[in-house]
Structure 1
Amino acid sequence: MANNLQVWEVAEPYLDLHCLLGEGPYYEEATHSLRFVDIRQHRIHTVDLAAGPESLKTLELDVPVSVTVDIEGVDPRDKIVVGLKYGLAVLDRKTGQYEYLQKFSAGEGLGQSKAPVDYERVRGNDGAADPHGRFWLGAMTDFNLGDFQPEGGLFRIDTGGKASTLIRPDLTIPNALGFSPDNRTLYFTHTTDDAVYAFDYDLEDGHLSNERVVYRHTAKGSPDGFRVDVEGNLWHAVYGSGRVLKISPKDGSILGEVRLPTNNITCTQFVGTELFITTAEDEAAEGGETSKALGGAVFRVDVGVKGLPLFKYKLSV
């Protein structure tokens, strides 16, 4: 760890919401709002950042919702794309109705064996749109099925929902995905490997090559979600550690850390130079009583650098 480590201390939550599994923060630029989800409670929360925490609105679905993304050319107040139990769907935010674009079962089977896959066992997890407007969505063991198994995978859903391609099988907890400032590198976290992988990303066709590990986590906790800043550094939540790490992908060194008062940190999102941070419950008080009390809250801190904007999904092609 660098001797001149930058440190930010955060004591109070921005939203003391008590999510069971807060995740997927996304900046809705059109409305200057922050969206995020509670996967286990099937909820999408939205807060108007100009109006403040009192403006919080919640939409509850009938299945786990893990990630959201704006649609290119569509008002996000009307429709967005969401990662759900069975795959990627378009959500009408006014009615709460959704329609699947692609289900995991429509792609190739998960796992290296040719045996049939029980898609009831998996659910969507984290993901992101790419520069071509496609969406990359992870699948993993659903809740209440015992220990997570290597039965998940990373899927790429083409624009317009035309096709689903299994990019990596046999994953246990596929997590966040993002891009370098020049869009030539794709980063992907596999939590159960304690690793952030990098791939060369072809700007012409989106082909991946030259897989390598850019960060290996060896300390307390496990890497969860991240965002990339304009300087190319990753701001990575570490579940079970009460930390967000600022990581250089050049050599995997830790340049800074945000210290939080609760244990289970899940993901980050830039709004200007402010970093918004989602968390999950700490019912067992593994991080202490304060950690238990603030588990599931949303925090924010000014870290002095802006983040890269997230890509939108192309529904019309």
Structure 2
Amino acid sequence: MRRLPIRPLAGLAAVGVLALTGCGTQTAAAPADPGTAAGERTIHARQVMRLTQVHEQTGMTLLEGPVFDEDGELLVVDVTAPAGEPKVLRVNIRKKTSEQVHTDTRGTYTSAQFSPYDGRLYLTDFSHGDIVSLAPDGGDPRTFFSGEVDGARMNPDDLAFDREGNLYVSDSRGMSEGEAKGRVVRIDRTGKDATVLADGLAAPNGISFDADHRGLWFSELTQNRISYLLLDGEGSVASRHTAVRVDGGIAQTDSIAVDADGNLYQGLHGRPAMAVYSKNGDRLATVEVPARAAEGLESATNVAITPGGTRAYMTVSGPDGGYLYAFDALARGIRQSNGG
């Protein structure tokens, strides 16, 4: 999930939101375009529609977790939506309309993705440490996972599924204290077995499998780096290394998506833009919103690329509201670029 600056959180404080994954930890205005490095290009995103306005009760709106359903409609979560207001929205992009899919009195949902195992929509509740699932139409809410992992509750931010439907979660535990207590956690598809794959992390945020499902990319918000976990085929870690150090200036690393060519789309908090890298760490492009619009926006948290196509939809938020922006991705969309 992405992060907006932490202001007084009004109604959100009541549910224990000290800091939001994917929402930023510091107030940051969008900086001037620093230009592009040799070999890097700028991709200009175009506004599709405004989905939300700043909520009076929470003083924020923060869109995250875009994911296409089987009917080609886009689902989006609003992390800071108060009780009773839409926390999951369904967007008809062609008609530029949206409707409420789910709300409740408790959840602070920071990501969304459909399971390949049971077809349900899974949401991470950052404030309460839960993983919640919904039927595809938004009904039948269930708590899939709750409780401690190795003696500590999670602050689950983003999630990814393997081909069998097991979950891999970025746990931003310790982020509000500024301590490197974060983890990557694997939860089996029954929700009964949770295992820590990596710990001692600095506010892990984005997480995605690579194009071949051989390993996991994950970002650490407060270190501006992307690491790679090579898996052994049995759900355990074979190796781990820092793969990319993101030159973000005042911006911080948020959610991650991966296209069919293995390129990484790294969302940024503190600037309404995304950085695009090859799997070998080359910075290929920067996706930006128009300069005038950027003045009222503070983050580009995540992106969904149309499955089998190249049209990408980026969630962008700030004092001007929550928006969808569109651009042409470098390669076609796959499961790893659809939700999480």
- TM above 0.5: yes
| Distance in 2 of aligned mates of 1:11 and 1:72 | 31
- Detail structure 1 runs of 4+ shifted over 4 Å in the superposition: 92-97, 145-149
* 1:71 counterpart letter in structure 2: S
Percent sequence identity over aligned pairs? 20
- Helix, strand or coil: the match of 2:261? coil
Corresponding residue of 1:275: 312
Q: 1:99 aligns with which of 123, 132, 142?
A: 142
Corresponding residue of 1:286: none
Q: CA deviation at 1:213?
A: 1.4
Q: CA deviation at 1:124?
A: 2.4
Q: 1:224 aligns with which of 254, 261, 264?
A: 254
- Helix, strand or coil: the match of 2:155? strand
| Distance in 2 of aligned mates of 1:55 and 1:15 | 10
Q: Are the aligned partners of 1:13 and 1:298 in contact in 2 as well (CA < 8 Å)?
A: yes
| Distance in 2 of aligned mates of 1:175 and 1:230 | 22
CA spacing shift, 1:278–1:57, aligned 2, 3 Å = same
For the pair 1:80 / 2:109, whether they are aligned, the reply is no
Q: Are the aligned partners of 1:129 and 1:311 in contact in 2 as well (CA < 8 Å)?
A: no
Corresponding residue of 1:10: 45
Q: CA deviation at 1:48?
A: 2.8
Corresponding residue of 1:308: 334
| Distance in 1 of aligned mates of 2:287 and 2:138 | 38
| Distance in 2 of aligned mates of 1:94 and 1:133 | 20
Q: 1:298 aligns with which of 319, 324, 331?
A: 324
Corresponding residue of 1:108: 150
Cα offsets for 1:88-118 (capped at 9, x unmatched): 222246675532222241x212xxxxxxx4x
Corresponding residue of 2:172: 140
Corresponding residue of 2:66: 25
| Distance in 1 of aligned mates of 2:331 and 2:323 | 23
| Distance in 2 of aligned mates of 1:9 and 1:34 | 21
Q: CA deviation at 1:308?
A: 2.2
* 1:101 counterpart letter in structure 2: F
Q: CA deviation at 1:134?
A: 0.6
- Helix, strand or coil: the match of 2:222? helix
Q: Are the aligned partners of 2:50 and 2:322 in contact in 1 as well (CA < 8 Å)?
A: no
| Distance in 1 of aligned mates of 2:225 and 2:334 | 22
Bigger drift between 32-41 and 149-158 goes to 149-158
| Distance in 2 of aligned mates of 1:265 and 1:48 | 20
| Distance in 2 of aligned mates of 1:162 and 1:64 | 22
TM-score, normalising length from structure 1?
Answer: 0.79
- Helix, strand or coil: the match of 1:192? coil
| Consecutive unaligned residues in structure 2, runs of 5 or more | 1-35, 55-60
Q: 2:95 aligns with which of 52, 75, 80?
A: 52
Cα offsets for 1:6-51 (capped at 9, x unmatched): 22223534334236121111122x11111111112161111133x4
Corresponding residue of 2:77: 37
After superposition, residues 225-244 of structure 1 pair within 5 angstroms as 225-244=255-274
| Distance in 2 of aligned mates of 1:301 and 1:156 | 32
Q: CA deviation at 1:197?
A: 0.4
* 2:150 counterpart letter in structure 1: E
* 1:23 counterpart letter in structure 2: E
Number of residue pairs aligned between Structure 1 and Structure 2: 282
Corresponding residue of 1:255: 284
* 1:41 counterpart letter in structure 2: A
TM-score, normalising length from structure 2?
Answer: 0.74
- Helix, strand or coil: the match of 1:296? strand
